[in-house]
């Protein structure tokens, strides 16, 4: 009687071990960034200063003048309520983009070099950094949710979960963009200058301060190309309702929340892939 022994793929144990090592590396890098952030209380407090300043100055001090024209499109809703989702998005945007500066910092002080020569894929390094920055940015944005009752926005557990998911997706997309930029730079000064050149226009064109309606043609085109707009719009719709956030208009079609999320997810995947490729090309 002939017996047949089961066929064993000799490469399977190695592939499984490599996958486990990469997942362990992703977790360690994520945990390191989150732990460093949690221990730096001054960073947590300082990163809240700019969003709160914008909320107080623009929402309170300038609402009578700057918001006068805007409120004609808002009905009975105050400009502060309209501005609030944009300020939450601002906290997520700036925290996520500047969390990528740790790439340049780690390169200067040697930690990144140790990661790049470790027996793990460089894609795992990028993924760990992206997840770490996204988690930190989502936490920063969630802190501002405590202001919702003061501003007159009601929250419930399901809405909070939806907002956290939107914050994480937006943070993941912007953190991946920041990692892509940081992988090409050598000094923190050059990173800060280049990021400020990109981030401020992205923020102001996202609809955080004004409705994306009735704009000049050239500005409308720029707002449609701004990935942050596809994070601000569903967040405003979740907090204030579809009346105040009818969706980004492309032609005669108003994008739904699912369309906004889909576009942002595609952008996040593209930025992550480009960041991984940039890291693979590094010596």
pLDDT digits (tens, 9 = 90+) for 167-179: 999 999 999 998 8
Angle between the N-to-C axes of helices 101-109 and 79-99, in degrees from 0 to 180, rounded to the nearest 10: 20
Supply the pLDDT for residue 165: 95
Residue 13 within any structural domain of the chain: no
Residue 111 within any structural domain of the chain: yes
Tens-digit pLDDT string for the chain (283 aa): 444 444 444 444 545 557 787 888 888 889 988 888 887 777 677 767 777 777 777 766 666 665 455 555 555 667 788 888 888 998 899 888 888 777 777 666 666 666 666 667 878 888 999 999 999 999 988 988 888 888 888 888 999 999 999 999 999 999 999 888 887 777 777 777 777 788 888 888 888 887 777 778 888 888 889 999 999 999 988 888 766 666 787 777 778 888 899 999 999 999 999 998 887 766 5
Of 60, 132, 137, 55, nearest to 96 by C-alpha is 137
Q: DSSP for 109-120, please give it.
A: HTHHHHHHHSSS
Residue 131 within any structural domain of the chain: yes
Residue 7 within any structural domain of the chain: no
Residue 5 within any structural domain of the chain: no
Rg over alpha carbons for the chain, rounded to the nearest Å, is 22
Residue 172 within any structural domain of the chain: yes
Of 29, 23, 26, nearest to 103 by C-alpha is 29
Q: What is the pLDDT of residues 178-205, one digit of tens each?
A: 888 887 777 777 777 777 788 888 888 8
Residue 249 DSSP SS3: strand
Domain count, the chain: 1
Residue 46 within any structural domain of the chain: yes
On average, the pLDDT of the chain sits at: 79
Residue 213 within any structural domain of the chain: yes
Q: Which residues of 236-259 are buried (b: 16+ CB within 10 A; e: fewer)?
A: bbbbbeeebbebbeeeeeebebeb
Residue 133 to residues 14, 34, 96, 200, 265, Cα–Cα distance (Å): 30, 8, 5, 19, 16
Domain containing residue 151 = 21-280
Specify the pTM.
0.84
Contact 51, 142 (CB under 8 A): no
């Amino acid at each position: 009687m002939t017996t047949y022994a089961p066929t064993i793929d000799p490469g399977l144990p190695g592939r499984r071990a490599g996958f486990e090592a990469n997942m362990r590396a992703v977790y360690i890098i994520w945990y390191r960034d989150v732990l460093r952030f949690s221990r730096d209380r001054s960073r947590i407090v300082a990163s809240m200063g700019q969003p709160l300043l914008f909320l107080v100055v623009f929402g309170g001090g300038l609402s009578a003048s700057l918001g006068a024209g805007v409120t004609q499109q808002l009905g009975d809703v105050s400009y502060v309520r309209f501005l609030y989702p944009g300020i939450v998005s601002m906290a997520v945007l700036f925290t996520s983009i500047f969390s990528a500066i740790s790439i340049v910092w780690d390169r200067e002080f040697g930690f990144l070099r140790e990661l790049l020569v470790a027996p793990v894929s460089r894609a795992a390094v990028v993924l760990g950094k992206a997840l770490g920055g996204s988690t930190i940015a989502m936490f920063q944005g969630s802190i501002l949710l405590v202001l919702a009752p003061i501003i007159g926005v009601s929250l419930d557990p399901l809405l909070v979960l939806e907002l956290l998911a939107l914050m994480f997706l937006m943070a993941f997309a912007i953190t991946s963009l920041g990692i892509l930029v940081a992988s090409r730079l050598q000094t923190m000064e050059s990173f800060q200058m280049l990021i400020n050149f990109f981030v401020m226009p992205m923020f102001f064109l996202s609809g955080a301060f004004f409705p994306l309606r009735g704009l000049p043609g050239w500005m409308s085109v720029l707002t449609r190309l701004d990935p942050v707009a596809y994070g601000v719009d569903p967040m405003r719709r979740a907090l204030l309702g579809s009346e105040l956030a009818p969706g980004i208009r492309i032609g005669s079609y108003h994008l739904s929340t699912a369309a906004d999320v889909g576009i942002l997810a595609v952008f996040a995947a593209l930025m992550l892939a480009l960041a991984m490729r940039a890291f693979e090309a590094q010596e």
